Amino acid sequence: MSKATPKQPEVLPDPEIKIGGLLAEFVSAADVVAAAKAIRQAGYRNLEVHSPHPIHGIDEVLKAKRPRLSYGAIVGAVIGLVGGMWMAWWMNAIDYPLIISGKPMFSFLPSLPIAFELAILLAAFAVFGGTIAMGGLPQPANRLFRIPAFARATNDRFFITVDASDDVFDAGQTEALLRREGSVRIDTIPILDARESRLPRPFVLTAIVLGVLALIPPVLIVKARSTTSTVPRLSFISDMDHQPKYKAQTTNTFFADGRSMRPQVSGTIAMGDLREDSKFYRGVSDDSAEATGSANKNFSINTFFAAIQSESEALTVADERQKTPNWVTEFPIPVDESLIRRGQERYEIYCATCHGIGGDGDGLVTLRALELEQGTWVKPTSLHAEPIRNQSVGQLFNTIANGVRKMPGYAAQIPVKDRWAIVSYLRALQKTRTATAKDVPSDVLPNMRELN
């Protein structure tokens, strides 16, 4: 005998009091199946069988319908499968395409593991949720639990409940029938009033408190996503935020001059900085190197560092620039139409603002400066003027790179080859003012004559 309450007297129906139904106890599964069959044959429909384990054959006796759980599982599985595939496709191929070592942006097979797992997960949720919901669970307040004898339903006894709402129900007759079919004990099922069925106060309060607390994280997330902050985010372990390394423009006590940024070690040339071809890089012929040895220093990288070492040195550098170097007169790279076109494009980006589209010194900046300065502004030299026309290509190159008079040098903005491209375009521009009929190709000449 279990530790259940000692044998209690049966609570038999009082004809004066309304009852919820009758609860009949049976000793074995076979008994309860036979009894259920008989009761159903007697016309009762509102009955249920309770047992400590599932009884084979009870579904046929009660003529119960199979629950439709598998449909939920299929729906869940399809949603999971399709959803997983869609997720992999949309997230990795459409919204933020990730280039991963040449693999296709979306492929069916690699997306299958995730889609498959999601399918099973959602199907399992559907099955679990369906079981709980369709079983009427959770149901903590069941009137059957008010009957102490019912505790054995999960232990070793079998029960039939006949609901009073059944058409054929009659307290006395139903009780007699149940006893005839082998019931060892009959109890009355009470009717619970609304107050008794309600969830007790502590549970409601706890549920409310937990519900409110559960809302806090989403609210915080929404707040963080939709507002700005004047303070940096919380960082719990900040080793990567404050890294022990030197940054640009900071002091450093390790070196005598106190700088973290170190100048280039003297006598070295950085990779990619070896500009041996002075015709290409500087527009001067090599044989001037001995004649103006220090002049070459002007056009090397070290000029910058030399200049900042002392002001007198800077002045010396400026002086040395007065000596005329040996400018190249031929282009060091082959000149073709594509180079001239490139030069045109670059000229119109960098030069035309001051020098004008046609090279006459009437660019927009010049015009505006003239307006603002009320005529005291010195216009850029016209590129068609004779001194400029007579300059060699090397000197033009140097002007573009290092500037002249008030024009700044454009070495930082214009790469070396582009400077040569601009020079080639300048020559083309200059040609437009000085060309004669002899310079025009013979197949184009007839068309030009017609215009004139």
Partner 1 sequence: MVTATINEFDNTVIDPAVRPPLMSGNNTLSSITEQVASLAERPKPPRAWTIAFAFSSSLTVMLFALIGYMIVTGVGVWGNNAPVAWGWPIVNFVFWVGIGHAGTLISAILFLFRQDWRTSINRFAEAMTIFAVTCAGIFPAIHIGRVWFVYWLAPLPNSLAMWPNFRSPLLWDVFAVTAYATVSALFWYLGMVPDLATLRDRATSKIRKVAYGLASLGWTGSSKQWRLFEMAYLLLAALATPLVLSVHTIVSFDFAVSQVPGWHTTIFPPYFVAGAVFSGFAMVITLMVPARQFFGLKNLVTLRHLENMCKIVLATGMMVGYAYATEFFIAWYGGNQYEQFAFVNRALGPYAWAYWTMISCNVLSPQLFWFKSVRTTPWAMVVICVLVNVGMWFERFVITVTSLSRDFLPSSWGYFTPTLIDVLMFVGSFGLFFTLFLLFCRFLPMVAMAEVKSILPAEGSRQVEPA
Footprint on residues 109-138 left by partner 1 (CB under 8 A): 110-111, 113-114, 116-118, 120-121, 123-125, 127-128, 130-132, 134-138
> At closest approach, how far in Å is the CB of 208 from partner 1?
17
Of the candidates 49, 55, 14, 57, the one whose C-alpha atom is nearest the C-alpha of residue 162 is 49
Q: Does 197 bind partner 1 (CB under 8 A)?
A: no
Q: Does 100 bind partner 1 (CB under 8 A)?
A: yes
> At closest approach, how far in Å is the CB of 108 from partner 1?
12
Take residue 346 and report the two structure tokens written for it: 């670059």
Please select the residue that binds partner 1; options are 42, 82, 141, 301, rule is CB under 8 A. Answer: 141
Instruction: Find the binding residues for partner 1 in span 329-368 (CB under 8 A).
Output: none
Q: What is the 3-state secondary structure (H, E, C) of 333-402?
A: CCCCHHHHHHHHHHHHHHHHHHHCCCCCCCCHHHHHHHHHHCCCCCCCCCCCCHHHHHCCHHHHHHHHHH
Instruction: Find the binding residues for partner 1 in span 14-43 (CB under 8 A).
Output: 28-30
Instruction: Find the binding residues for partner 1 in span 366-425 (CB under 8 A).
Output: none
Q: Which stretch binds partner 1 (CB under 8 A): 92-100, 186-194, 337-345, 349-357?
A: 92-100
Q: Does 51 bind partner 1 (CB under 8 A)?
A: yes
Q: Please say which residue, 151 or 269, places its beta carbon nearer to partner 1.
A: 151
∠ CA 445-447-452, nearest 5°, is 95
Please select the residue that binds partner 1; options are 8, 107, 329, 353, rule is CB under 8 A. Answer: 107
Please select the residue that binds partner 1; options are 11, 34, 38, 58, rule is CB under 8 A. Answer: 58
> At closest approach, how far in Å is the CB of 97 from partner 1?
10
Site size for partner 1, by CB under 8 A?
Answer: 75
Look-up of token digits 């700044």 = 408
Q: Does 69 bind partner 1 (CB under 8 A)?
A: yes
Q: Does 55 bind partner 1 (CB under 8 A)?
A: yes
